[in-house]
Amino acid sequence: MASPLLARALETTTPAVSFPKGFYWGAATAAYQIEGAWNEDGKGESIWDRFAHTPGKIKDGTNGDVACDHYHRWREDIALMRRLNLNSYRFSIAWPRIQADGKGKPNPKGLDFYSRLVDALLKARIRPLPTLYHWDLPQKLEDAGGWTNRDLAGWFADYAEIMARALGDRVQYWSLLNEPAAFLSLGYLDGTHAPGRQSILDFLRGTHVANLAQGSGYRALKAVCPQARVGSVFSMSPCEPATDSKDDRVASEHAHAITNLWFLEPALRGRYPNAFLFSPAAFMQIHRDDMDRVRAPLDFIGINLYYRTVVSAPPLGERLSNARYMLLPARMTRGQKGSKTDIGWEVWPRSLYDMVMRITRDYQRPVLEITENGCAYNDGPGADGKINDARRVDYHQQNLAELARAMRDGADVRGYHAWTLMDNFEWAEGLSQRFGLVYVDFATQKRTVKASGEWYANVASRNAVPSL
């Protein structure tokens, strides 16, 4: 029986906003956040294993050793996807589960796990959309320099080739990297995520190696599977000037370049955008032929979007005293006018429309997929055991309305993936924030579909979203 919340939502389904036939309704996850089995069946240590095992790094003191135990419960989780009427599932492959040290012969048990997962998804008529790298770098590669070591681009290409040969006969869509701007800024510049470095030089060098890896991985996949559709996934946020002043407008364009284009422009146009006041090429150690190597004519662009960014130009005094502002003259903050999710992020559905349209205009209408969009609301079971997360229903309904508007205005969007399928280990937040359509009791591993999951299942079934 549908929950009262879902029943109310269904009452508003006329008129509804319809989506094109064949639109992908999906959910997204990441290996470290759900799989658990952190040291089973030949899996090597990742930087997130090391980081989460370090006292004080995770806010609630938890780690991903078990997480959602998806490694053992994947059949149950595919049954949940079928119940939600999904026809696409974006997941990631744990590199250290395939190559414990990030190099060398693949681990047969790791390959077998993902092969069985893909076969079961196809049997359930769910498109598998694997991401090759979603932040869990093999620790051995970090010990060798991590993303500041140029050799990593070649090791990533070798790994991409292994996966293409293992799954390419069944997987048609691939994502290369997940949010390189995020894993490098948080992991190498701010140090709040694995591996916990704090160095602007490491950040700059790492961004270039990641772009080399993106290009090399693209070619490795296409060499094995020429017909595959290969994209990459970028964290994006529309950068709005705080005021209409010229300085703030200029600052917002600098912010847009580093936030949204730093890994897209090299792939599609073989160049870095003008994010900084002066070229950081010398710090990035760009070699003679590198800008040809970073090129990757992506078949689709994945957009992960959670909030907008408000940008102002820092005063001259701050620019002179702060090394970051000397290089990037933009103060960036999350928007504050809208309501807040339980993690403190502003809800601003218009940001999805603005970002999709900006990329559509500036890159001649590329194929797009919304690969993540979601919200942390920590509602738990009521006395009846149901999770009536009305705010999450509102969030997805408003964001999907804006996405439909962008599509009417010319954007070529092929799919939408809610973050996330089920509550999981949310990086430095641990188990404290719940983004899922499915509630997970981490003590028992019991899964319960939330009201938002029921609502989303109805949307996917009808290929339409109730009007606001």
Q: Tell me which residues are annotated as active site.
A: 179, 372
Tokens of residue 459, six digits = 């949307």
Phi-psi region of 26 (alpha: psi -120 to 50; beta: other; left: phi over 0): beta
What is the rounded CA–CA span in Å between residue 373 and residue 395?
Answer: 10
Burial code (b: 16+ CB inside 10 Å, e: under 16) for 5-14 equals bbeebeeeee
The candidate with the shortest Cα–Cα distance to 420, out of 31, 10, 23, is 31
Tokens of residue 377, six digits = 């609301």
Q: Which residues have a Cβ under 8 Å from the Cβ of 168 and sit 6 or more positions away? A: 221, 224, 225, 228
What is the rounded CA–CA span in Å between residue 31 and residue 97?
Answer: 10
Burial code (b: 16+ CB inside 10 Å, e: under 16) for 306-325 equals bbbbbbbbbeeeebeeeeeb
Q: Which residues have a Cβ under 8 Å from the Cβ of 196 and sit 6 or more positions away? A: 51, 54, 57, 187
